[in-house]
Amino acid sequence: MISLMLSGGLVLWTIIAVGMAATWIFFIRYFDLRRAHVVYADFMAGVENLIEKGNDREAIAICEETMVPVAKVVAAALRRRGDSSDSVREAAEIAARGEIRRFSRRLSVLQTVAQISPLLGLFGTVVGFAKALAAVGGKTLATRLDLVPLMAPALACAAAGLLVAVSVHVMHALLRARLEHLTADLDAATSDIIGRFGGAGK
């Protein structure tokens, strides 16, 4: 396997490199999305307890220190508490969209890697076949033993490209599913927050 990788050339190593980069991005975003979860009812109970005691600033400070998206949305709404419903809604929705954008960063990189990996593999295969044909071109009769060692690196490029594409596509799908779940949670939380902290009128 090592010798096959070493003989695969620059294209094979490029496929491996982009696959490793995509895997690194996946794990960073995956654990970020896992840490983004919070038990909303318990969190809001603590915030409202502070508000009932008149500790609005402390409630906002706790929201800012809590590194989860819902807390950022609650903090944005609390800063506009007492303003019109439209003002509170706008602040909460802007904060929610900002959090979604933050967690969406670099997902497009995974999509790009999944798309270009098979093309890189195909390119490596074509280059490998061209090298193999050039190597045996001067021989009157090329045997199977002549061709197999030359063709193996070319086929390795194709296999690596497909493997990376499939793996990264699965990674991207998993992150998209978690992001959609987070989006749904933020939408529900935003509606609830507006109802709790929105002003009495427009």
* pLDDT tens-digit series, residues 96-128: 899 898 888 889 999 999 999 999 999 888 887
Q: What pLDDT does residue 149 have?
A: 66
143: left (phi over 0), alpha (psi -120 to 50) or beta: beta
Q: Quote the tokens at residue 167.
A: 């793996």
Whether 62 shows a pLDDT value over 80: the answer reads: yes
Q: What pLDDT does residue 30 have?
A: 92
Mean pLDDT value of segment 70-82:
86
Nearest-angstrom CA–CA distance, 144 and 169: 36
> Which of 28-32, 155-159, 190-194 is the most confident on average?
28-32
Nearest-angstrom CA–CA distance, 93 and 104: 16
pLDDT band for position 17 (cuts 50, 70, 90): very high
* pLDDT tens-digit series, residues 24-60: 999 999 998 888 887 888 888 888 888 888 888 888 8
